[in-house]
Structure 1
């Protein structure tokens, strides 16, 4: 007797009851493999932004920030990228992209996830103001995470259980939170604000990433931050070790692709409203009204070879901020306002240009002492000297 197909099994009488058509349909649906979906595709289809958590409530649209598409899709299961590094300006949509990834995992690719904020208190605040609205406002997630008020919900301030996985939220200042559980997915937000050590147990980024090592090639790590001080910035160090991608956009006049640089934003002194971006190829002045089309036609291009081929690095300044957010005029005004204050210029460089700040100041004491050295013949005591003495500092410590 030959094997029966699924439809023949149903029709041969193994399932003889009313509703057989519905059962056959469910059977076929169960045999169909899960659709291939990217994080950006999921966000466009399922993500809803709550009024209390977003300036633009309603359905999420990747087209609003098209530069985030490739970053989100690198976090998708179908991408070979394992580590995504994003060195960014403030308010360019990075946190919402990370939340889209969280929603995608809960709905499409469940597994253990660790989300780290600079402190435990910030993790709690993020849970209340970002994660809870993410779940409550998106129907695809609402039924997968039980309300915190239900018995045995597995839903607390810093822990969200769902079928097939769990989201643990913690702070970089808590070593206990960082080593609490193995995690296939790790979201490290604002890493430059992390302490140097988590409860004296070591670098928080290293401790967190160690949670994912058992997942080998199936892991995903997302590091995002505005940068801080040159030489101390974690995100700059990670970006420089990556393939260093920049978002290239076309000049509306000549079509030449280029990434946006602050020195090419020009305006009349004292009149930031005259700010225009000047093409590096044809020098044509580009108005703010052209930015939307430029962003839609943009593409990420790598400028280096990563030390780890599984790491992709992205850099984005606020010059790319979409229409209605931070304008070129506002950037020009902020730069003029910051003049005369190192702290204001530092904030501008970090949060608007997404670049590190180089500390300046007087030479340290050892430099001034070195500059005042004099030459004397070895073994002689200068006139007026009473005795010879010497000292040395052993960088290895005492033996």
Structure 2
């Protein structure tokens, strides 16, 4: 790359953008047919596309169609970026035929690259190719005249090739856009994880963990945000401030982790997602600065969400439900136990290769508040969170989670072993296949006698009943006793997962019932599941028996203090009682 094209001129070095290595290698994976890349700008995607073309010329010469939003963009890309890069590559000097090429068709030994715009359906229908690269597909016209969409027309050009390869990449626009729909429809979806340099916990870089300290005055200045913003480790027990230099270093050993469940067979369509927080060319401060500049203008904010966070923009009507959750915020920040709370439980949603978790504090009359939520990659990462001592508001005291429930539906053997290893503070749970009269029932498990002689109970849960409870309590004012609350730092992502389902009428065994269904296909509901499991753990601890808290002025009267475990047994007592 030249000085005009990059701030790092010279030969391409994947170590500068290590997250691109697996994406590019997937092009050479014979078992993968379709690659989806949803991204922000400034992450090296264009250069990766040029590398894939160069690889095709050098190692696997064949026909390749490179499709862009329109002919002018395709022409400019060919003349200003692609042809220059190919001409400067020594290894392609005897293979790339520059003299016999033009902007729309680049020829080389064994094949050619056809560059075209997506607005010309006639041109798309005239080229049969085994390899297809479609760039910035959210800018394609949805319908090309009387024919099908440009994406479908282009894909049709590859169907007669058994070894076809399709790569689509784009910055997203809306959830209905081409790239986000392709991302959600992929057999496997990946997010990039790095380790915290201090605690070692694996985590993906998310905007929610980019912190901007409060500035005196009514508004935060963009320059102040750039100079003072920092990225905070997602581990509540650590909260290390990860620097830009540490980010770059940790990305070298980063890894792509599967989001959601793996298919039973071999995946043919895989998807990758990355945002500007990972970019070596963009500092955390620059992201914070851009957010402050954009947040008050809807058009600018949409551009920030699309081009910096690499996420689709959600129209206001789609965020109304999430706002209902965010209205339940208390004044207590994340990772702090409210002073009225007496007990902590947690819920864990177990997926292939990672976990979602929620920690909830409980008080009188089922008053509760989420104090933390997040993800863990390994069992060790999860145990660190579950064993953490959480500080109590306005106190020097700390408290641990008394009991937590972990979903066993996906990896039962691993979950059972983990629960045995952490007996009696952890219980396995599983959603019931039909409606139940009670919220949960216990089913005895006979563990492998070689592993343990401890009796283990599986909690079979009617998840619909618990979701009814959550949403009924959510309707209460967050300052009201008995309400369902969240901490002051609760994120939009969490709120959207809580509202990812709705109740609808269904017919089961000839009976009309109300059941919870996803709002849309592929809706992620991990935190909602976690909240269900946290409530199951609370039920197992009989939190409904917790007495009322004395008024604040009487808290200093030792004779009026309430022992939180005078009614609710400790986890140790609970375990022995089973």
What range is the shorter-chain TM-score in? 0.7 to 0.9
Aligned to 1:143: 94
Indicate which of 122, 125, 128 corresponds to 2:76. Answer: 125
CA contact (8 A) 1:86 1:223 kept: yes
TM superposition shift of 1:361: 6.7
CA contact (8 A) 2:64 2:131 kept: yes
TM superposition shift of 1:171: 0.5
- The answer to whether residue 176 in structure 2 is matched with residue 221 in structure 1 is no
Indicate which of 223, 228, 244 corresponds to 1:274. Answer: 228
TM superposition shift of 1:145: 2.2
Q: Distance in 1 between matches of 2:4 and 2:129?
A: 30
Indicate which of 279, 295, 303 corresponds to 1:321. Answer: 279
CA contact (8 A) 1:66 1:296 kept: yes
Aligned runs of 1:349-388 on 2, under 5 Å?
349-360=305-316
- The answer to whether residue 61 in structure 2 is matched with residue 103 in structure 1 is no
Return the structure number with greater relative CO, CA threshold 8 A, min gap 6: 1
1:74-94 per-residue CA deviation (whole Å, 9 max, x = no partner) reads 001x44211110000011001
Q: Distance in 2 between matches of 1:211 and 1:159?
A: 17
Q: Distance in 1 between matches of 2:77 and 2:262?
A: 32
- The answer to whether residue 261 in structure 2 is matched with residue 309 in structure 1 is no
* Structure with the bigger percentage of strand: 2
CA contact (8 A) 1:116 1:189 kept: yes
- The answer to whether residue 7 in structure 2 is matched with residue 55 in structure 1 is yes
Q: Distance in 1 between matches of 2:232 and 2:282?
A: 18
Aligned runs of 1:229-308 on 2, under 5 Å?
229-230=174-175, 232-242=176-186, 243-269=188-214, 270=220, 271-272=224-225, 273-281=227-235, 282-305=238-261
TM superposition shift of 1:213: 0.9
1:170-209 per-residue CA deviation (whole Å, 9 max, x = no partner) reads 0010112212211111100000000112233111111111
Aligned to 2:570: none
Aligned to 1:162: 108
TM superposition shift of 1:224: 0.4
TM superposition shift of 1:237: 0.7
CA contact (8 A) 2:98 2:106 kept: no
CA contact (8 A) 1:241 1:306 kept: no
Alignment RMSD: 1.6
Give the unaligned 5+ runs of structure 1: 1-48, 363-399
Q: Distance in 2 between matches of 1:175 and 1:359?
A: 31
1:252-279 per-residue CA deviation (whole Å, 9 max, x = no partner) reads 1110101111011102143311211111
- Normalising by structure 2, report the TM-score: 0.51
Residue correspondences, number: 304
Q: CA, structure 1 residues 104+211, in 2 after alignment: closer, same or farther (shift >3 Å)? A: same
Aligned to 1:42: none
- Normalising by structure 1, report the TM-score: 0.73
1:301-351 per-residue CA deviation (whole Å, 9 max, x = no partner) reads 1112467821110000101011xx111001001111112100010000000
- The answer to whether residue 146 in structure 2 is matched with residue 192 in structure 1 is no
SS at match of 2:98: coil
Give the unaligned 5+ runs of structure 2: 215-219, 319-578
